[in-house]
Amino acid sequence: MNTQTSLGSEIPNAHIVIKQWWIPIIYLLLLFQPCSAESEIFTIDVHRANSLLNNGNYHYLDVRTSEEFMKGHIHADDALNIPYMFNTPQGRVKNVNFSEQVLQLCKKDDHLVVGCQSGVRSVYATTILLDAGFKHVYNMGGGYLAWVENGLPVAVVTPKVEL
């Protein structure tokens, strides 16, 4: 099937290119589909997150990859890094053991601030935690990038060198 342009010329098989272009978009939308529409996610800005983390009652859960975490993360005494997704040769894949890994380190009554690089993965991670029965979970909007942009304290993991 050919498609006509506004000038009257024909473009063969143009509809196929358009359909193929949408395939990755649809795949990503399905991949990042939240688990439940019932979970109400509360997103807070980085200043509110900083305030909650400094009061000693909240823990920071960084859901970025371990490589991202090692390059720099928010400065919090007990920052946890449990990736929501992993980098693989085929691209990023969801950590199917995410909620179980969080449950190994946190209780469902713990107060958590969940963050990632830009605030996208943390929304999905927060949804999973709420669906798993966690009661006090906030998504940090803007993620680590917004944290750095606002001049808030960061930490870098220095690899240990053995002699």
Q: Which residues are known to be catalytic? A: 116
In the Cβ-directed half-sphere of 26, how many Cα atoms lie within 13 Å?
A: 6
Residue 88 and residue 91: Cα distance in Å, rounded?
A: 5
CB atoms within 10 A of CB 5: 9
The C-alpha R_g of the chain, in whole angstroms, comes to 20
CA separation for the pair 68, 65 (Å, rounded): 5
